[in-house]
């Protein structure tokens, strides 16, 4: 069976059957036709060298040769019209507001459970729900300070939210470095085409975090980023953002509780921190409240947080909002808290914890994508159409042994954007992760975000840990 994929750059041509550039790509297409392919290949090689010298790498867990790897970068930009972006932005903002309202409700009155809009057991039996957060009011009422909403496209006006990343979304450093690289490699493009900027993200991030300072903050907020350390897969991003924001980069052993505040060690002694942008998972955040074996967090930080002594971004317990089993209820959540129908659609989802859903999934494994409810990075999933019989049978056994750990979705016809190869342009599937900053006064959505691209022909898996690459994402000025 042949599947027609929406090509975001090219559209069917006229009687000569030559494809035409879609309107957002018109300016770029005109430039491309005038360029020597050898020059573009040289620039692509320069970009790769730049990434290597800058240290833009990531680590892969669970492999014997788990050294640092370079994320492939493609020099053909992904271009989105300003009108398309306006539609996306409205839907993203609606969704983020609903998620924040849901988190406040689920840790307080739980009205959505009382109304029967989502099952109680989906919360009570969920490891991502933190009883330690019940009754806690985060500074400014914000739970999700930074959100990464994964979006896929299947047609001209067909956008779907694939998942919500409300815990510690990553990838923004690649978005920023991709743009910086394109500006260096092809400056003439940006003088010909009006592209909305993304370089102000670190400034907006610092401002947004500072706006969520705790009541005990006295003066200008001190902001720090908590990293698990140099062996973490996203350490480059942690250090990059700290540098760009002018924030301190700290590890758990640099921090301690001093006079009811979290303080960091400096050459002048311990200095209180007001806002901690943590890149450490809930489980490892505080060994006194969560995993007692953790050496990554800060003993007692949850007690300081509950007393209003520090802002933690994102708030502990936000993982319940991006749980993949809860994802299927997002249309209800959006409508419950906003009074509006969702502007962005969900992907149809089968919850394997339910007997009738499980039967359907088991009967159609070869046609579905099956994911762990707490999985990430493309691990622990089955892409049915790309799997062989042995892989499907092995996954069937895992699914039957623990059905509540999985959800399933149809295999979407993800849109394509060409990459530049030695043989010319070649289509590859893409997704998009826009980054959203939330504060009491505003919601900032960076125009574009991170486009992830499956570098292997025909592959639908875009995760960098599975061989995917990235592209610069352009949102055009109107």
Taking only the tens place, the pLDDT of each residue in 266-310 is: 998 999 999 999 999 999 999 999 999 999 999 999 999 999 999
pLDDT of residue 59: 55
Mean pLDDT calculated for residue range 109-131: 94
Please name the residues in contact with 133: beta carbons below 8 A apart, sequence gap of 6 or more: 107, 315, 316, 317
- The pLDDT tens digits for 327-354 are 999 999 999 999 999 999 999 999 998 9
What number of other Cβ atoms are within 10 A of residue 10's Cβ? 18
- pLDDT at position 49 is 87
CB 251 within 8 A of CB 227: yes
Pairwise CA distance, residues 322 & 325, whole Å: 8
Question: For the chain, which domains are there?
Answer: 10-214+310-345+412-475 (no CATH), 348-410 (3.30.1490.270)
The terminus-to-terminus CA distance of the chain in angstroms comes to 40
Q: What is the pTM of this model?
A: 0.92
Residue 392 near residue 365 (C-beta atoms within 8 A): yes
The model's confidence at residue 61, banded by pLDDT at 50, 70 and 90, is very low
Instruction: Single out the residue of 322, 335, 317 nearest to residue 98, CA to CA.
Output: 335
Q: How far apart are CA 233 and CA 239, in angstroms?
A: 12
Q: For 42-51, 75-84, 296-305, 315-324, which range has the lowest pLDDT when averaged over its residues?
A: 42-51
**β-strand 345-346 against 158-165: which pairing, if any?**
parallel
Tens digits of residue pLDDT in 196-217? 999 999 999 999 999 999 999 9
Under a CB-based contact definition with an 8 Å cutoff, are residues 353 and 332 in contact? Answer: no
Instruction: Decide if pLDDT at 375 tops 60.
Output: yes
Taking the C-alpha atoms of residue 350 and residue 16, their distance in angstroms, rounded to an integer, is 44
Work out the burial of residue 410: count CB atoms within 10 Å of its CB; fewer than 13 is exposed, 13-18 middle, 19 or more buried: middle
Is there a contact between 160 and 344 (Cβ–Cβ < 8 Å)? yes
62 pLDDT higher than 80: no
């Amino acid at each position: 069976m042949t599947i027609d994929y929406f090509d975001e750059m090219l559209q069917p041509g006229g009687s000569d059957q030559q494809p035409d550039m879609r309107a957002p790509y018109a300016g770029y297409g005109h430039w491309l036709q005038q360029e020597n392919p050898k020059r573009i290949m040289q620039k692509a090689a320069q970009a790769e060298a730049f990434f290597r010298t800058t240290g833009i790498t990531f680590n892969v867990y669970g492999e014997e040769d788990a050294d640092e790897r370079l994320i492939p970068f493609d020099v053909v930009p992904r271009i989105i019209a300003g009108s398309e972006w306006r539609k996306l932005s409205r839907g993203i903002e609606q969704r983020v507001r609903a998620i924040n309202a849901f988190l406040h409700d689920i840790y307080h009155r739980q009205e959505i459970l009382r109304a029967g809009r989502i099952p109680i057991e989906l919360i009570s039996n969920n490891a991502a729900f933190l009883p330690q957060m019940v009754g806690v009011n985060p500074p400014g009422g914000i739970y999700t300070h930074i959100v990464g909403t994964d979006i896929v496209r299947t047609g001209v006006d067909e956008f779907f939210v694939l998942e919500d990343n409300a815990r510690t979304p990553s990838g923004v450093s690649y978005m920023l470095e991709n743009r910086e690289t394109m500006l260096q490699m092809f400056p003439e493009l940006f003088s010909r085409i009006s592209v909305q900027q993304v370089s102000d993200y670190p400034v907006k991030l610092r401002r947004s975090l500072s706006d969520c300072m705790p009541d005990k903050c006295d003066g200008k907020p001190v902001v720090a980023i908590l990293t698990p350390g140099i062996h973490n897969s996203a350490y480059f991003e942690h250090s990059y953002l700290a540098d760009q924001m002018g924030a301190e980069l700290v590890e758990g052993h640099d921090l301690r509780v001093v006079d009811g505040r979290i303080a960091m060690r400096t050459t002048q002694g311990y200095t209180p921190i007001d806002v901690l942008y943590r890149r450490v998972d809930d489980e490892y955040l505080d060994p006194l409240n969560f995993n007692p074996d953790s050496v990554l967090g800060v003993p007692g930080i949850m007690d300081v947080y509950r007393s209003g002594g520090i802002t933690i971004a994102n708030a502990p317990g936000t993982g319940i909002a991006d749980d993949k089993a809860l994802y299927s209820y997002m249309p209800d959540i959006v409508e419950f808290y906003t009074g509006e129908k969702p502007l962005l659609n969900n992907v149809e989802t089968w919850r394997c914890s339910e007997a009738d859903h499980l039967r359907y999934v088991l009967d159609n494994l070869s046609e579905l994508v099956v994911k762990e409810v707490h999985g990430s990075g493309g691990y622990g999933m089955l892409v049915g159409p790309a799997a062989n019989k042995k892989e499907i049978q092995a996954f069937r056994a895992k699914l039957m042994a623990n059905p509540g750990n999985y959800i399933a979705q149809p295999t979407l016809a993800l849109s394509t954007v060409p990459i530049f190869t030695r043989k010319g342009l070649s289509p590859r599937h893409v997704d998009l992760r826009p980054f959203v900053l939330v504060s009491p006064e505003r919601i900032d959505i960076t125009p574009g975000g991170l486009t992830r691209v499956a570098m292997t022909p025909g592959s639908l898996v875009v995760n960098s840990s599975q061989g995917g690459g990235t592209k610069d994402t352009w949102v055009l000025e109107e």
